Homo-oligomer: A and B are copies of this chain.
Amino acid sequence: MDVAAPLSPTDRSTVRRGSKRARTDRADLYAVLDAGLMGHLGVQLAGAPVVLPTGYGRRGDTLYLHGSTGAATLRAATDGAPVCFTVTHLDGVVYARSAFHHSVNYRCAVVHGTARLVTEEAERLVGLEALTEQLAPGSWAASRRPDRKELAATAVLALDLAEASVKIRTGPPGDDARDVEGPDRVWAGVLPLRTVTCEPEPCPLLPPDVPVPARVRERRISSRA
């Protein structure tokens, strides 16, 4: 889409709790997804939900996931059953004057849908490139591409970004007036959190004269909206 369509809430993607935090701009969905490294995939397995951390990559309005062809959760995600994929960024701890109003500042995208097993070779490569680049920008060009055996061991799933919701909380605590105006001088505010990168740790098997490339050395993890 040239111009991103707004998110059209369905029954299950309508934000009911804390609806003042809901965003309906598709650009917000893209921003939350694109800033993440991992999401949490929920599938139904043997009658119970299972939630596992999962890498992903986005191309347009398609989210690509992958996993071992032998993984039960991946099989459960591709048998036509509904799945849910959630990406959350924690931006701060919200300290309030009351225990009740303690909260977190966050950005969260929740995608509902049915995953499609990608079988066409070209799209499988598009998906794997998207996944690799989301995790490690520049790595698809720099590293050896998957060979036939590796491709055979990898299931690539596609999830349409058709049904999704975004919630974002920013700003100070929402304390009651009685607590704000009361005599107790309890500190209230936000302790911002940020994900930072540390000094790269070369593989012990790497020749010592291979320099850390800029794509690793200068990498910054997106944080805070």
A118 part of interface (Cβ distance < 8 Å): no
A4 part of interface (Cβ distance < 8 Å): no
Alpha-carbon separation in the docked complex, A192 to B217 (Å): 11
Alpha-carbon separation in the docked complex, A96 to B202 (Å): 10
Residues of B within 8 A of A187 (CB): 142, 202, 206, 210-213, 216
Give the A interface residue count (CB, 8 A): 97
Alpha-carbon separation in the docked complex, A197 to B202 (Å): 26
Q: Which residues of A contact B (CB under 8 A)?
A: 11-12, 16-17, 37-38, 40-53, 55, 67-68, 70-72, 82-86, 88, 90, 92-93, 95-100, 102, 104, 106, 108, 110, 112, 128, 132, 135-136, 139-140, 142-147, 150, 154, 172-173, 175, 179-180, 184-207, 210-213, 216, 219, 221
